[in-house]
Amino acid sequence: MNKIYITGSVGSGKSTLGKNLAKEFGFAYCELDSVIYKPYAESTSGNRKRSIEDKDALISDVLSSERWIIEDSGRKEFEYIWDEADSIILLDPPKSLRNWRIVSRWIKQMLHVEKCGYRPGFYMLKNMIKWARDYDKGELQSRLRRCEDKLSILRNLADVELYIEKLKEVSS
């Protein structure tokens, strides 16, 4: 498994898992939010969309890597990456845990304890809650059915640990 795509709801742990796996196993790591959006100047907060050309070039660069982990919330425009992946992880923790993570993250960002690439106002909290509700409708899960031969659904820490053990086995 040299090419891993991680997806799930806001607050499911995609970035945390992706960064940890990349560090432990030496994968190139990419979160697609940072491909779509680029920050304004360092002195301001917030971001703006990249041009299609810039976005495509960044994705192409990552996909050309021998080993990569890409994480995203499952945007339709990036489904073609699923075909490139050897393994797809759907992080699906309990709704209560996701909601706690969303609020906790937002508070940390408002207090400037945690960095973010957007303005963390009430508007953003409202969006994150809306995105989590959209996830709960099951549309992403339905679209992922076409990849069930390489799909791992991880609902808790024990599932994550089993996946890591499997990754260790195939990496050695």
Quick: pLDDT tens for 74-129.
999 999 999 999 999 999 999 999 999 999 999 999 998 988 777 788 998 999 99
pLDDT band of residue 40 (cuts 50, 70, 90) is low
Q: Would you state the structure tokens that stand for residue 92, as one six-digit string? A: 């699906």
Please name the amino acid found at residue 97.
Answer: L
Output DSSP code: residue 69: E
Q: Which residue has the tokens 């997806």?
A: 7
Please tell me the distance from the alpha carbon of residue 166 to that of residue 160, in angstroms, as a whole number: 10
pLDDT digit string (tens) for 153-167?
Answer: 999 999 999 999 999
- Alpha carbon 159 to its chain centroid, in Å, reads 17
Contacts of 3 (CB under 8 A, 6+ apart): 67, 68, 84, 85, 86, 87
For domain 3-93+138-171, the CATH superfamily is P-loop containing nucleotide triphosphate hydrolases (3.40.50.300)
Is a pLDDT exceeding 60 seen at residue 44? Answer: no
Does residue 38 or residue 169 have the better pLDDT? 169
Band of pLDDT at residue 45, cut at 50, 70 and 90: low
Residue 42: the pLDDT is 58
Distance of CA 65 to the CA centre of its chain: 18
Q: Please give the pLDDT value at position 122.
A: 92
In this prediction, residue 24 has a pLDDT band, given cuts at 50, 70 and 90, of: very high
Fill in the amino acid letter for 141. Q
For residue 54, pLDDT over 80 is answered with yes
pLDDT at residue 130, rounded to an integer: 94
Could you tell me the residue ranges of all domains in the chain?
3-93+138-171
Q: Find where tokens 């390489």 sit.
A: 150
